[in-house]
């Protein structure tokens, strides 16, 4: 099969690898679409990815199974980032992402024609939801959706979203779907243009605009940048809610007296998504959320070097690789 090899130092190769086999209780999936995620930044700019690539946002069809499972050959599935162990407190309530078991199996390397993976990691993808959208449900939309659900965004909220990369754009679309007023901020003008196309009511560039003046009820950081995270805590109005979604960086500068004692902010920890978020998002997409709007580029897997370079140059929103 053809597969992406992330070499590091901004170098990508596409090479032949042996087809993975459905052994050890695994199923094999024929990958139809695989999205590049901002969390692959470290491998791309750093020392590469030993197991090939960090692809974890994929959808495809079941082609083989080692043991009887609920899946049949040809079933359409989307792949969650990691399988549950299935028997810890967090897994029992569906919070797979909090599972700390060593038995759980995640499968990276999804930028390839096939993967072998834990059948528990597969979630059903109904026929009316495309593979492309299927590959966005778990992370690109699922991550902000979980945060938005936790924070409880309503029509009465003015929301500030720092960062309009793919996750920030998806947050904008979901908050608009819930009829909140949405103000977004990004230093990249291309991304602000995308945000307007995704329904943002107002777009700000923190280099020239006053983000503090927004005084939002709810602030989301979708950058992972310490300055933007701190801006969320500073800008949120008294009694406001904040969720830090971005996964890089060193965290905000917290002033416990100003942020917590005097302003009584509530800050939500939130990480990835759950299988229930997957079901809810499918319902929301059926009711009209145009999830495909955050896809700006599609590349054949052979053009993965160009796809990665465009994505990490900030010249694209979501980038989809098609391996066939």
Among 14, 62, 83, 99, binds Zn ion (CB under 5 A): 99
Residue 198 within binding range of Zn ion, rule CB under 5 A: no
Residue 101 within binding range of Zn ion, rule CB under 5 A: yes
CB 61 within 8 A of CB 19: no
Residue 133 within binding range of Zn ion, rule CB under 5 A: no
Among 63, 88, 123, 247, binds Zn ion (CB under 5 A): 88
The piece of 11-19, 96-104, 121-129, 285-293 that touches Zn ion (CB under 5 A) is 96-104
Residue 97 within binding range of Zn ion, rule CB under 5 A: no
State which residue, 29 or 37, has the beta carbon closest to Zn ion: 37
CB 150 within 8 A of CB 277: no
Kindly state the tokens that stand for 309: 């370079």
Residue 85 within binding range of Zn ion, rule CB under 5 A: yes
Among 3, 26, 27, 37, binds Zn ion (CB under 5 A): 37
The piece of 39-47, 146-154, 241-249, 300-308 that touches Zn ion (CB under 5 A) is 39-47
Among 6, 27, 91, 289, binds Zn ion (CB under 5 A): 91
State which residue, 174 or 265, has the beta carbon closest to Zn ion: 174
Residue 226 within binding range of Zn ion, rule CB under 5 A: no
Strand partners, 78: 59, 123
CB of 57 to Zn ion, least distance (A): 5
Of 181, 183, 203, which is closest to residue 192 (Cα–Cα)? 203
The piece of 36-44, 195-203, 236-244, 267-275 that touches Zn ion (CB under 5 A) is 36-44
Count of residues that interact with Zn ion, criterion CB under 5 A: 8
Residue 215 within binding range of Zn ion, rule CB under 5 A: no
State which residue, 230 or 273, has the beta carbon closest to Zn ion: 273
Q: Which residues bind to Zn ion, rule: CB under 5 A?
A: 37, 39, 85, 88, 91, 99, 101, 139
């Amino acid at each position: 099969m053809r597969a992406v090899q992330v070499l590091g130092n901004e170098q990508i190769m596409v090479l032949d690898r042996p087809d993975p086999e459905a052994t050890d209780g695994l199923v094999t999936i024929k990958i139809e679409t695989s999205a590049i995620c901002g969390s692959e930044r470290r491998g791309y700019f750093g020392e590469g990815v030993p197991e090939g690539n960090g692809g974890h946002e994929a959808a495809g069809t079941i082609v083989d199974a080692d043991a009887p499972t609920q899946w049949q050959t040809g079933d359409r599935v989307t792949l969650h980032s990691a399988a549950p162990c299935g028997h810890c407190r967090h897994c029992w309530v569906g919070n797979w992402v909090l599972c700390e078991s060593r038995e759980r199996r995640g499968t990276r390397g999804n930028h390839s024609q096939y993967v072998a993976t834990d059948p528990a990691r597969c979630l059903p993808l109904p026929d009316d939801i495309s593979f492309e959208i299927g590959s966005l449900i778990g992370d690109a939309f699922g991550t902000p959706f979980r945060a938005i659900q936790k924070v409880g965004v309503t029509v009465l909220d003015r929301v500030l979203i720092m960062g309009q990369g793919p996750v920030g754009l998806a947050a904008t679309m979901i908050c608009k779907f819930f009829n909140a007023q949405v103000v977004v901020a990004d230093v990249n003008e291309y991304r602000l243009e995308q945000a307007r196309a995704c329904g943002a009511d107002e777009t700000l560039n923190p280099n020239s605009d006053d983000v503090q003046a927004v005084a939002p009820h709810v602030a989301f950081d979708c950058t992972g940048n310490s300055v933007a995270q701190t801006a969320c805590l500073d800008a949120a109005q008294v009694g406001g809610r904040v969720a830090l979604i971005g996964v890089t960086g060193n965290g905000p500068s917290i002033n416990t007296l100003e942020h917590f004692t005097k302003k009584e902010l509530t800050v939500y920890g939130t990480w990835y998504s759950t299988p229930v978020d997957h079901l809810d998002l499918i319902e929301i997409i059926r009711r009209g959320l145009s999830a495909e709007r955050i896809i700006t580029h599609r590349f054949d897997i052979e053009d993965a070097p160009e796809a990665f370079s465009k994505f990490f140059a900030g010249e694209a929103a979501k980038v989809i690789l098609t391996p066939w």
